[in-house]
Structure 1
């Protein structure tokens, strides 16, 4: 007899308020010096350093029905969009033809239950968004983070939404000539783009009764965005061994940017 996975419902009382702090550090690097030559990017700072939200904003991160650990679901747009405005007043969740003039598969907002016990549940999420700046666009690689719910109090115990660090973690484009059809692009690194509230120690100090690793949940979320992540990628050394053994040709692909995010 097949055993069904344990499922739990996730709820919040939407009449409480949550105070969220916002951070955008100065940009440290861009390949073509956009952060020096473009004043808008050079002066990019968080719109509101601290803001009060109704807990109902975070309800949009929750699934509509009971879920098990490792099960992804789509996030409603309204709550995350309101939170993104704390970074900058002009966020967009659209990542397609109308913005960069090219089609992309990376649309969406997804979350996944990573772990839970009787008191807490840890939800990991991934959001792709960008911001309309004066004269161009700013596109972080991704927004990820945790929403930890106190299941007993039905409250937000910890929330963090941030752009992960990397060699580059954002893409930007601008129109230097308003009459020209095209635009110029750049990519770079910003050390902190983050919203936060609550106590992060909860994640380290809680002995969850059921969980998957952070790496596992990140992979599950990446699968929701990119078809390329459904490919069983192997190293060149492994491919050289596997090809002759399986009598299959070896396909070598050269790329000039990451396949896992929107930083290029």
Structure 2
């Protein structure tokens, strides 16, 4: 080796501060070249482990639930498990104190006080919403008893029905703060979430509410007051809790953005059409449904509609007594109601506003020129179809609707495709409302 080459080699192998030597190849190698590979491997390992862990947890939970179900069958038997399941609303095969409450009330005869509701303060200068009621009375010839001229039906029994031809209150003004009752609870703020606005109080142990009543109980809390006030526009004696299941009011968030909700709802309530001295006559629409578009602080309502669906040939159940006692004979019938509807005349508007010069203007002053309000368009950032939101309401009321109920022809096509048997049900009316 020449002197120049030895010198170059010595220079290439220059010592470091700690005495080690660095070759040219090691000078150009990235100092973290080994660590990033190990980090990548760990990342892949973690990413792969997460779904496996989730699957394992789900498998364990399902196995435990199946084990508890088998133990319940052995302990209670099929009928006992059916009774237990009627109370086990979350289907976890455990009874929480809330789920056990109906049994406690039945055994002790003591009903605990209703849950506290936040007091709604009505701003006298807040916005107001005007609702109009529309009605087309029940078609008497749609009732089955009309086929024989109501033979055997006393004329007085139908007094309330025959005389109810228009809404009790054609138009009414509401404070927008009252519609806070439709806002979701804090744990139900995602599109598709459902919740009970007015929970059902009926189960297999409580039975049903009495028939021999004329006047509804006073509503309790802001939510009951609002629903009662809305239905009161149709008839002066609304019962916001129907005698039989389904009972109550359920809502679902159909769409949402930063400022607004579109909430669909379903109500099961009924009216008492007769008053003393006539015997009770119960008028039970299949359901009330509708939607409300309101701001998330309930200061503004863009749209409101509530109505009885009229897309079926029968949509009202009717029952009337032939005596004043609970054991009196009862007649039943079904019929068709073309229209029963509440509709907002427009968005809610402020009662008091200020002009550009700071002067207060009362928009309710009829002596002035009417004020024209301009509202921005609402664009949803997340939404469901109305059909899907309605399905979720249905399932909340009727858990059996988790299984698809299909028209006759479609059922056989599905059965053939999935190689399953067909269970056929013949109904007089509809399975998922009161008109059956």
Matched with 2:333 is 186
Alignment of 1:191-202 (within 5 A): 191-199=338-346
Report the Cα distance in structure 2 between the residues aligned to 1:174 and 1:47, rounded to whole angstroms. Answer: 21
Matched with 2:242 is 95
Shift of 1:52: 2.1
Shift of 1:26: 2.2
Q: Which moved more, 1:54-63 or 1:124-133?
A: 54-63
- Say which SS state the counterpart of residue 60 (structure 1) adopts: helix
Corresponding residue to 1:67 among 189, 192, 195: 189
Distance 1:243 1:21, change over 3 A: closer
Corresponding residue to 1:53 among 174, 178, 191: 174
1:28 aligns with 2:139: yes
In terms of fraction of residues, the more strand-rich structure is: 1
Distance 1:244 1:47, change over 3 A: closer
Matched with 1:7 is none
Report the Cα distance in structure 2 between the residues aligned to 1:241 and 1:162, rounded to whole angstroms. Answer: 34
Whether the 8 Å contact between 1:141 and 1:170 is mirrored in structure 2 is yes
Shift of 1:144: 0.6
Higher relative contact order (CA 8 A, sep 6+): 1
Matched with 1:145 is 290
1:255 aligns with 2:255: no
Distance 1:81 1:238, change over 3 A: same
* TM-score, scaled relative to structure 2: 0.50
Q: C-alpha deviations, 1:134-157, integer Å up to 9, x for none?
A: 131110111111111145883111
Distance 1:148 1:245, change over 3 A: closer
Q: C-alpha deviations, 1:5-37, integer Å up to 9, x for none?
A: xxxxxxx99423322211222222432237xx6
Matched with 2:317 is 171
- Higher-Rg structure is 2
5+ residue gaps in structure 1? Answer: 3-11, 97-102
Report the Cα distance in structure 2 between the residues aligned to 1:159 and 1:250, rounded to whole angstroms. Answer: 41
Q: What CA RMSD, in Å, does the superposition of the two structures yield over aligned residues?
A: 3.0
Matched with 1:122 is 262
5+ residue gaps in structure 2? Answer: 1-46, 51-119, 198-222, 275-279, 348-376
* TM-score, scaled relative to structure 1: 0.79
Distance 1:190 1:251, change over 3 A: closer
Distance 1:74 1:242, change over 3 A: closer
Aligned residues: 243
Shift of 1:124: 0.5
